[in-house]
Amino acid sequence: MQLQSIYVRFYRSLNYDFIRSSDGRYEPDPWDPTPRGNYPFVRIKLRPGITTVVGGNESGKTQILRAISAALTGAGYERSDFCRYSRFFGVDPTITKPEFGALFTDVNDEDVKVIQGATEHKSIAGADQVAIFRMNTTPQHRMYVRKEGKWSEGLHIKTPSALDKLNIPAPFEIDADVPLPDSVPIDFLASGAKKAGIGRDALRAILDGVKANRDWFASDSQVQAKAKEISSLFRDTRDATDDELKTYKLAHDLLTKVAGLSRALFVELQDAVRSKNGYANSIVDTINGELAKALNFPHWWSQDSQFELFVSLYEFDLVFMIRDRTGRSYGFDERSDGLKYFLSYFVQYLAHQPRSDGRPEILLMDEPDRFLSASGQQDLLAIFDDFAAPQDPSRRPVQVVYVTHSPFLIDKNEADRIRVLEKGEYDEGTRVVKSVAANHYEPLRSAFGSFVAETTFIGNCNIMVEGPSDQVLIAGVSRWLKTRGVANRDRLDLNRVTIVPAGGTRHIPYLVYLARGRDVDKPPVVVLLDNDKDGDEARLDLAAGGAYGDKLLDPELVLQLGQGLLDGLTTESPGGVVGIEDLIPFNIALAAAERYCLEFVPAAKVSDYGLSAEDVLTSDHASSSRPEVSVGLLKCLERAIAERSGIASFHLDKVAFARATVDVLAGNARGSRVSVDDIEAAARNFGLLLSKIAAKQRVAERAETVDRISSRINRAKRDFKRTHENQARNEDVLDFIEEISGQLDLSPEAEEVRAETRRWLTRFGIAEDPRALVRDLPGLFRAMDGLAYQATRGAERNASPPDDDPGEDSSER
């Protein structure tokens, strides 16, 4: 069975679903009745993979996690958790505790047999859904079964232990409050001794105290006389606190469960540190080798591709150290808490072992964003993804639910993961907002605040588009193409790009200037323009440059609908491809317009008009009072509906239409005439569009990487030439090569630079004698001058073939 929904009522701020209760069309579910009337449960739908619960402060996010656990286990709540502003609080003796339920789908024949045994009901063969509830009234532990679309009455679960065979998910948590410690006592790793690590400061204080006061130990009588002073030297040796033991346990899991090291090795190390320093250090080398193999940390930590975690031996402790891209080593106490906590989550993820009884599991995590930077939160998303869909086939998938109030922990590629909480007034309680993605994240603006919601979805590359309807359609279609199995490189990763609506074509050149024309750092930008007079003018303005004629954007990074790389787009619009709406096949556009009217203009009965492409896409509907302005599919549809409905003021809003189009493509429009051919035509058009935008995104990011590499090389080159103007030794050149290499990432362009510096070792005899003078200093200087452009040359060679096609390229410039 698959856990699909959690139901909760009268639990803390989760009182009941007041919106549903107030709807005149409300029909109670079989579990809604109480002795005082029908009160619908608050329902939280869960994804099979990952569910993200979002809300402002005090909106009830944490209570959702506790409700999930209570619904699945029947534990963790009591009378004091009853909603304080419920009308039943302290009044009704029959309603005294919170109530919980869990709904499961994908019920099979084996599950039915278990249910029959637990409830002693035999007539439930063919059931497809099951709901298990924990209620105040008898039977308190009950089950509802759906068969042929109808729910049964509440069945008494007479044998609760039988439900263990249903494989109900077992909740577990990653503890967000336990960081990886700065150090861990070897005694704890070897024997589990609960003594706190002495630490460097305490050990140094003891040694300094003994050295400075040797006379205290001159005789037995002196020791007795100075007992108080001697005792004070050892005041920091104590038992570890519970919080310290949790961090030590985490370090133990890292070294034993993750790295696969045995306790016997730490027993050996415990003995070796007392008398065999060389042997002890060899054991530490073994530990570090196994750590490096087990962690593969650069794959998960995007902020530094050369990051290493290792341990260093300090007397009776193992000290955790890190080495970053500078090549220098640091202790944990010298780095941010964010790194410690990310490592904690990472270790708990790697150390997690499936249950021995084979039951599925559900991970519950409360606000993991508290200590992490924006980039760290994006890296944490990758860990959640691997929990839900493991890359390692030996790991079992785990359902994940986490709560957050950070926009950086929201995966914009998976909008249907999001559940937004909103707290009502008085006795209304917390509710779950519906249609979060469909409303273009509008509820998120309420949860996060408008400024944060609008400005903090910031990626590495900016895709400039003309208006918000382009933004909604591109983002929604990218998610839709993902569900169709389109390759990552042929669509947009919405967590790595920002789709920026300019508010009109005329604003695009200015926005590009703001992004790239005023600072040394120039973020990568790609521009998408409509195929009209305004788009042509904007393209010319971008080519003209900024206030001083400086080129703001390479013309190669400007895409225009229906031209150049996008001349393969097709449309049924009589005016050709003008705007992004013209890429939508007519029947899909009609279904989207019908959905729009049902929601906003119910007087316009689009389904009754029998509109066809021949009716809508006529010369009358496509005519314009301005010859230079082409009328697209959207305007034709708007005019046809206005004509048939008799509503002269009818307006088909572009943003709402884009939202409705995404719903139709996702299969959320009922009764539409959309055919498989229509869907395939939309997939071809939008697949071409997004693949070309994604290709230009890679070009823009590659250019930005090249600029950054060239800048670093030029800076190091100037320093070298200034210091070694007349002569330099081979070891100075080796230092220069090491400095450059340490600042480079793992991109193909950076590898080109490293390869060139390796060729210097032979060409200039650098490796022969480090103390010898460079034999061809002018030649080395010329090589350094060329090194700054090595990344540029490498990028040109590594450019993808479609971007180098001379036939297409000529039309782009």
Predicted confidence (pLDDT) per residue in 57-89, tens digit = 777 889 999 999 999 999 999 999 999 989 999
Whether the predicted model's global pTM rises above the 0.85 cut: no
pLDDT at 623: 63
Task: For 731, list phi and psi in degrees, rounded to 5.
Answer: -65, -30
Collect all residues with Cβ–Cβ distance below 8 Å to 31 and sequence separation of at least 6. 7, 41, 101, 131, 133, 135, 144, 154
pLDDT of residue 805: 43
Cis ω before 98 (30° cut-off from 0): no
**pLDDT of 305 above 80:** no
pLDDT tens string 640-661: 999 999 999 999 999 999 989 9
* Predicted local confidence at residue 453, as pLDDT: 38
Beta bridge pairs of residue 45: 5
Q: Are 54 and 420 in contact (CB under 8 A)?
A: yes
pLDDT score for 439: 47
In whole angstroms, how large is the CA radius of gyration of the chain? 33
Is the pLDDT confidence value at 807 over 50? no
| Residue 189 or 615, more confident | 189
Strands 497-501 and 329-331: unpaired
Q: Tokens representing 97?
A: 């505790």
Question: Comparing 177 with 282, which gets the higher pLDDT?
Answer: 282
Q: What is the 3-state secondary structure (H, E, C) of 205-245?
A: HHHHHHHHCHHHHCCHHHHHHCHHHHHHHCCCCCECCHHHH
Share of the chain above pLDDT 70, in %: 88
Q: From the CB of residue 810, how many other CB atoms can be counted at a distance below 10 Å?
A: 9
Confidence band (pLDDT; 50, 70, 90) for 142? very high
Q: What is the model's pLDDT at position 332?
A: 77
Span 510-528, pLDDT tens digits: 888 877 765 555 788 999 9
Residue 452 above 70 pLDDT? no
pLDDT for position 520: 53
- Asked if 103 contacts 2 with a C-beta cutoff of 8 angstroms, the reply is no
Averaged pLDDT of the chain = 85
**pLDDT interval class at 357 (50, 70, 90):** confident
The mean per-residue pLDDT over the stretch 162-175 comes to 90
Judge whether residue 435 has pLDDT over 70: no
Per the model's pLDDT, the better-predicted residue between 800 and 787 turns out to be 787
Q: Is 15 exposed, middle or buried (0-12, 13-18, 19+ CB in 10 A)?
A: buried
pLDDT band per the 50, 70, 90 thresholds, residue 401 = very high
Is pLDDT of 238 > 70? no
Q: For 370, how many CA atoms within 13 A lie in the half-sphere containing its CB?
A: 15
> What digits encode the pLDDT tens for the residues 19-51?
999 999 999 999 999 999 999 999 999 999 999
- What's the pLDDT at 264? 95
Position 41 scores a pLDDT of 97
* Confidence band for 626, pLDDT divided at 50, 70 and 90: low
Say which range, 149-153, 546-550, 771-775, has the weakest mean pLDDT. Answer: 546-550
Taking only the tens place, the pLDDT of each residue in 712-734 is: 788 888 888 888 888 899 989 99
Mean pLDDT computed over 211-236: 82
User: Could you tell me which of 401, 377, 397, 387 has the C-alpha nearest to residue 65?
Assistant: 401
